[in-house]
């Protein structure tokens, strides 16, 4: 049986405490008035804000035209206020979603092993079950965040603004009215609850049957798990796309993309496989998982390599469709990322998510070296955090983004929670399953 290392547990607790302080600072330091925004802008580089303030004062002295300019300036400051208030929410949501998708992606990988009757991965099942233990607490955090968003207290999901659906309002939006059959708060919340409930129910059922199979003398529970995995995968690949539309794509409600669900999935899947490899290597280094050999690590690294290429294919394909299929509605997503101040992040994440894995994991021998896999995995995870950051932040924070205390604090909190939940779950049962018909094949797997 695995025993949770006191040093690792203490590290997880320190991460969580430090993270809470960083998150609290993010909310505390967020501006509450337009005057606060002006003060923040005054401290920006190159005197940019000083010029804006002096220009505003000059306009006020020039009559009616100056009043219009002043009103525009107030609208700009109000927009900046909302964006800066959104920043701590975005920091929390990005880190929250990032670790949640690792647990969910691991659950999908686990289900695929059952559905395909794969033989090589059986000795890794308890590692996957441990990682997926984070799904429930991650889901509760996600649900709480969505409920807060539905209250519309911080202008996060702009399509929830009532004025967009009021024909008498100057903000009336025909596009959002046309999408209101889908983008309405009650239906949006119901869908989200169904996604989370379905994913968590499968995880509970699959782990329960896996533990029951340990003591079983026949394959009854294994067969039930295999059938449940097939049904889950059908449910997942429908709901994952819908989740991507609801939680991320609707942040830019005028935008639509048929590829976006797959794009989110590719980031989710490669991150999950990376974490499976890293946790496996850690446990193996501590003297656990004696049945895991270099060939298992090799296959996990192959998946890291292959799905990094798959992610890049989808990253490029979404952009290519703007030109190839003449889909101008997609420009609402790409203009701020390609032409705005997110360009460095948007283009630069190709390095950790594609170039680095290709260069390091192309060689078959490197796929068997634990420290190569760990170092590559860290780079990949950083790259896919940036990917989620770029998916969400332009629509919520706009040009006022930064990676500072709120973002780092959020990462530390959810990293600490993830470590604590996962490694606590690993102590609950033996790290090697029993009764699986492919167990011997997995124990003697050689590539």
- Could you tell me the two tokens for 63? 């009559």
Residue found by looking up tokens 């260069």 in the block: 359
End-to-end CA distance of the chain: 28
- Could you tell me the two tokens for 21? 């302080």
Question: Residue 436 half-sphere exposure, CB side, CA atoms within 13 Å?
Answer: 26
The torsion angle over the Cα atoms of residues 187, 191, 197 and 201, rounded to 10 degrees, is: 140
- The answer to whether the CB of 150 falls within 8 A of the CB of 241 is no
Q: Which residues contact 76 (CB under 8 A, 6 or more apart)?
A: none
- The answer to whether the CB of 284 falls within 8 A of the CB of 292 is yes
pLDDT at 53: 38
- The answer to whether the CB of 86 falls within 8 A of the CB of 397 is yes
Of 111, 129, 95, residue with least CA distance to 16: 95
Q: Which residues contact 323 (CB under 8 A, 6 or more apart)?
A: none
Distance of CA 400 to the CA centre of its chain: 21
- The answer to whether the CB of 435 falls within 8 A of the CB of 286 is no
**CA gap 255, 326 in Å, rounded:** 14
From first to last of its 447 residues, the chain has per-residue pLDDT tens of 888 989 999 999 999 999 999 999 999 988 877 777 777 777 654 444 343 433 434 443 444 444 455 556 666 777 777 788 889 999 999 999 999 999 999 999 999 999 999 999 999 999 999 999 999 999 999 999 999 988 875 578 989 988 899 888 888 999 899 999 999 999 999 999 999 999 999 999 999 999 999 998 899 999 999 999 999 999 999 999 999 999 999 999 988 888 899 999 999 999 999 999 999 999 999 999 999 999 999 999 999 999 999 999 999 988 887 766 767 777 778 888 888 889 999 999 999 999 999 998 888 888 888 999 999 999 999 999 999 999 999 999 988 888 999 999 999 999 999 999 999 999 999 999 999 999 999 999 887
- Could you tell me the two tokens for 175? 């596009």
Distance of CA 347 to the CA centre of its chain: 19
**CA gap 19, 364 in Å, rounded:** 38
- Could you tell me the two tokens for 399? 């040009």
Burial classification of residue 7, based on how many CB atoms lie within 10 Å of its CB (0-12 exposed, 13-18 middle, 19 or more buried) = exposed
For the chain, domain boundaries: 91-406+417-443
- The answer to whether the CB of 408 falls within 8 A of the CB of 382 is no
- The answer to whether the CB of 194 falls within 8 A of the CB of 239 is yes
Query: Alpha carbon of 50 to those of 57, 74, 238, 304: distances in Å?
Result: 11, 15, 51, 48
pTM of the complete model: 0.91
């Amino acid at each position: 049986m695995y025993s949770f290392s006191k040093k690792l547990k203490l590290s997880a607790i320190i991460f969580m405490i430090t993270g809470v302080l960083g998150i609290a600072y993010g909310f505390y330091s967020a501006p509450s008035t337009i005057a606060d925004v002006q003060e923040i802008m005054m401290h920006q580089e190159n005197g940019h804000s000083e010029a804006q303030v002096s220009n505003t004062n000059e306009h006020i002295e020039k009559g009616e035209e100056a009043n219009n300019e002043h009103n525009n300036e107030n609208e700009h400051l109000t927009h900046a206020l909302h964006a800066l208030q959104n920043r701590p929410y975005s920091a929390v949501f990005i880190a929250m979603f990032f670790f949640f998708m690792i647990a969910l992606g691991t659950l999908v990988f686990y289900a695929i092993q059952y559905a395909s009757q794969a033989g090589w991965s059986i000795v890794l099942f308890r590692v996957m079950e441990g990682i997926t233990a984070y799904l429930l607490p991650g889901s509760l955090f996600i649900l709480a965040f969505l409920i807060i968003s539905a209250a519309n207290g911080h202008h996060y999901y702009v399509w929830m603004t009532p004025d967009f659906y009021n024909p008498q309002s100057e903000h009336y939006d025909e596009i959002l009215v046309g999408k209101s059959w889908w983008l309405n708060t009650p239906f949006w919340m119901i869908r989200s609850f169904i996604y989370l409930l379905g994913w968590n129910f499968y995880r509970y059922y699959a782990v329960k049957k896996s533990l029951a199979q340990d003591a079983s003398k026949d394959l009854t529970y294994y067969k039930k798990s295999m059938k449940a995995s097939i049904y889950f995968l059908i449910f997942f690949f429908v709901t994952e796309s819908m989740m991507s539309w609801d939680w991320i794509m609707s942040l830019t409600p005028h935008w639509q993309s048929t590829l976006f669900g797959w794009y989110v999935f590719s980031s989710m899947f490669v991150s999950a496989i990376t974490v499976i490899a890293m946790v496996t290597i850690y446990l193996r280094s501590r003297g656990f998982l004696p049945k895991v050999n270099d060939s298992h690590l090799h296959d996990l690294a192959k998946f890291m390599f292959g799905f990094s290429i798959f992610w890049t294919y989808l990253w490029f394909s979404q952009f290519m469709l703007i030109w190839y299929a003449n889909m101008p509605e997609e420009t609402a997503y790409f203009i701020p990322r390609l032409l705005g101040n997110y360009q460095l992040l948007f283009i630069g994440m190709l390095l950790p998510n594609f170039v680095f894995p290709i260069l390091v994991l192309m060689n078959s021998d490197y796929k068997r070296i634990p420290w190569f896999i760990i170092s590559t995995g860290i780079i990949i995870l950083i790259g896919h955090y940036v990917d989620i950051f770029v998916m969400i932040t332009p629509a919520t924070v706009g040009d006022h983004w930064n990676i500072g205390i709120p973002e780092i604090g959020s990462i530390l909190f959810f990293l600490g929670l993830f470590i604590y939940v996962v490694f606590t779950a690993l102590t609950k049962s033996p790290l090697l399953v029993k009764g699986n018909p492919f167990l011997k094949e997995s124990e003697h797997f050689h590539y």
